[in-house]
Amino acid sequence: MQTDNETLLLKGNEAIAHAAIRYGFDGFFGYPITPQSEILETLSLLRPWETTGMVVLQSESEVASINMIYAGGSSGKCVLTSSSSIGISLMQEVIPYMAICEIPGLIVSVQRGGPGLGTIQPSQSDYYQAVYGGGNGDYHVLVLAPSSVQESCDMVGLAKELMMKWRTPVMILSDGSIGQMMEKCVLPPYTPRRTDEEIRRECPWATNGLGLKGRKPNVSTSLELDQNLMEQRNHALQAKYMRIKQEEVRAEHYMTEDAELVIVAFGSAARVAMGTVDEMREHGHRIGLLRPITLWPFPDQDILTLASRVKQMVVVELNEGQMLRDVEWAARFRCPISFIGHCGGVTITPDEITHKVGALLSQG
Amino acid sequence: MAKYRGVIEVDTERCKGCNLCAVACPLHLIELSTRVNHHGYNYAVQPDQTQCNGCSTCGIVCPDGCITVYRAEK
Amino acid sequence: MESINIKSPQNIVYAKPRLMNDTNMHYCPGCGHSVVHKLVAEILDEMGVEEKTIGICPVGCAVFAYRYVDIDWIEAAHGRAPACASALKRLWPDHLIFTYQGDGDLACIGTAETIQTLNRGDSITIIFINNAIYGMTGGQMAPTTLMGMKTSTCPYGRQADLHGFPLKISDIAATLEGTCYVTRQAVNTVGNIRRARKAIRQAFENSMQGRGSSLVEIVSTCSAGWKMTPDQSNQWLADNMLPYYPLGDLKNTVDNK
């Protein structure tokens, strides 16, 4: 097995599969759905069970997949699943269980256009689904939004670190265009999977029986009939979320230092918007891009700081303005905020953004 | 004559008075007390402790694991 | 009073299993769940596998099984315990992985997970308590409710045109390639409890030996739901449940002679 980096031309989805093996994940459980099936296909082709010992299982449904990572994560293993939009809807059943039981696990969401079966074309219309969740109760999922194939790969490593550190479900919110596009990708060296002894030491909370004779039984349960105890558990969860908000916000600032107009966009829309920034800069316009990398926790402070300084902001998304609400809230009306978007699987071009931003600049 | 003698001990606070041990006892030696435990259940008792042969039937059928059965050779 | 003298530890021939703790179980008096919990605790102790065991609780009356048997447990969402078990067995191939489920959980909301897991042949054990009713939610109709049987959602008795037919899911399981052992047992008499114990032990051995999936259905009672005394329930079970759900092995591919 190679111990070095390796550079390959890969789809975003394929990069995630390679990365999961190389970052030492113990198992993948998933169900086919366009546009993310390459993750399961690539893993099946690579046969990691013969090399790293990583388990790969095609489950009977997304409902089963999420339960599989709930159980696997509960036992201290490092596990992931992947799906797209409607599949992620089915997973909402158990994501809250993972949150309140503090179970680590990675969910890769490769968005397509909705609602319902919608299209199989790229979209960002599952921002609400990822950031606000469709499950019950007061919970959050830590959401990472890649905007390139390389970043899709790297975020698998980051997600592993974050999910184990915070004992929380983490979501990589990709979309059909990042998942399907091919780019050069530098894959990381192989990290060995943890031994049983390492799991026992690092995850004393895990439900795996290890060392049971010297400790109390471990139980993963979300059920608590005493409402006061349930409130205490909720408070503890919220306290953890506060710490995550303080420590884990990530955002990329691209030419925002002297910008008069800042575009806020994530994932594939940010990638397109970056082209607009480059082009308009060439024409002397002082425009920049803020790209939230963590969608939850959201870079509220970055937005507020910029909103207090710039003349206007433009939110670009492949939906009807979902992140827009978070930007408006964070900006506290310090500057005008416009929106450019498409939905239902229609993507956006740099020219369209350039044209619309140009119009806004001339009005301003 | 039975070769063994036995006796049972009932965890009366755990007992829910389901009466299954009394029904199952082949020698009909178990009944429910007239008193109740602090949950309000009439618990199982073995008033005559000289007849039991320690067959364990009561212990096996007891859903709540309230019965300890002792057995010794006569 | 001479009987008191034999109350010493070396004379104990039956006691609450070591792995069952002192927490009072929430089950109604005479509930079959408690009997099966005891069997599970006894067998795990006997096999010496407690440090290699993960139990998976259902939604339903047995949701709190984790409070009573001192092993590591995962409380699964409604019906999803078999999916959890599949993942765990693959991630921990040396472990004993078992689910403990009721009829609503296993044969209704979790039918897909049950059938798929059994058919994958993952070496796990499913313990399936069939009392023909939803106990925890207050006595509603279950997939296994008998024809004519009254519950709060079929108060005039189960009728085929309104409610369909009782599901013999173990019979379906026996037809699946992935299962190595499918058996139907009961815990209404001391003899049946002994046979059920043997069956669970057999299933756990199958799981540890990697022979395929095992399903142990236990036909059980629900005194509260059936509105009878525990003793009457056991009798009703023998008279009404067992003719429709006959006891015995439905499939056993393991030669244990």
Per-residue pLDDT reduced to its tens digit, B4-37: 899 999 999 999 999 999 999 999 999 999 999 9
The pairing of beta strand C12-14 with beta strand C53-57: unpaired
CA angle at residue C106 from C101 to C109, to 5 degrees? Answer: 130
How much is the pLDDT for C212? 97
For residues B34 and A26, give the distance between their C-alpha atoms in angstroms, rounded to a whole number: 59
DSSP-derived secondary structure for chain B: --SEEEEEEE-TTT-----HHHHH-TT---EEEEEE-TTSPEEEE-S-TTS-----HHHHH-TT--EEEEEEE-
Chain A hits for C92, CB-CB cut-off 8 Å, are: 75, 208
Residue C1 predicted with pLDDT over 50:
no
Backbone angles phi, psi at A347, to 5 degrees: -95, 180
Q: Please judge whether C35 and B59 are an interchain contact, meaning their C-beta atoms are less than 8 angstroms apart.
A: no
Q: Please judge whether A211 and C51 are an interchain contact, meaning their C-beta atoms are less than 8 angstroms apart.
A: yes
Distance of CA B45 to the CA centre of its chain: 6
How much is the pLDDT for B2? 56
Residue of C15, C194, C230 lying closest to B68 (CB–CB) = C15
How much is the pLDDT for A363? 85
Task: Measure C247 CA to nearest chain B CA, in Å.
Answer: 18
Q: Please judge whether A223 and C64 are an interchain contact, meaning their C-beta atoms are less than 8 angstroms apart.
A: yes
Measured CA to CA in angstroms, residue C88 lies from A168, C82, C203, C207 at distances of: 19, 10, 17, 12
Task: Measure B2 CA to nearest chain C CA, in Å.
Answer: 15
Residue C3 predicted with pLDDT over 70:
no
Q: List all chains that touch chain B, counting a touch as 3 or more CB pairs closer than 8 Å.
A: C
Residue of C11, C30, C193 lying closest to B71 (CB–CB) = C11
Please report the domains of chain A, with CATH numbers, ordered by start residue: 6-196 (3.40.50.970), 252-363 (3.40.50.920)
Q: Is A257 exposed, middle or buried (0-12, 13-18, 19+ CB in 10 A)?
A: exposed
Domain carrying residue B11:
4-73
Query: What is the CATH T-level fold of the domain C17-252, as seen in this structure?
Result: Rossmann fold (3.40.50)
Task: Measure C59 CA to nearest chain A CA, in Å.
Answer: 10
Say whether the peptide bond before residue B63 is cis (omega within 30 degrees of 0). Answer: no
How much is the pLDDT for C255? 72
Structure confidence by residue, pLDDT tens digits, C67-81: 999 999 999 999 999
What is the Rg, in whole angstroms, of the alpha carbon atoms belonging to chain C?
18
Chains B, C: CB pairs < 8 Å? 98
Q: What average pLDDT does range C208-215 have in this prediction?
A: 98
Its pTM stands at 0.96
Q: Please judge whether C71 and A59 are an interchain contact, meaning their C-beta atoms are less than 8 angstroms apart.
A: no
Mean per-residue pLDDT over chain C, rounded: 96
The total number of structural domains in chain B stands at: 1
3-state helix, strand, coil in chain A (%, to 5): 45, 20, 35
Residue of B7, B63, B72 lying closest to C31 (CB–CB) = B63
Backbone angles phi, psi at A235, to 5 degrees: -60, -40
Total Cβ atoms within 10 A of residue A204: 12
* Best of B16, B30, B66 to mutate (most C CBs within 10 Å, chain C): B16
* Best of B60, B62, B66 to mutate (most C CBs within 10 Å, chain C): B60
The CATH number for B12's domain is 3.30.70.20
Q: Which residues of chain A, if any, have pLDDT below 50?
A: none
Say whether the peptide bond before residue A35 is cis (omega within 30 degrees of 0). Answer: yes
Q: What average pLDDT does range C185-211 have in this prediction?
A: 98
Residue of B13, B20, B56 lying closest to C230 (CB–CB) = B20
Q: Count of alpha carbons within 13 Å of B62, Cβ hemisphere only?
A: 31
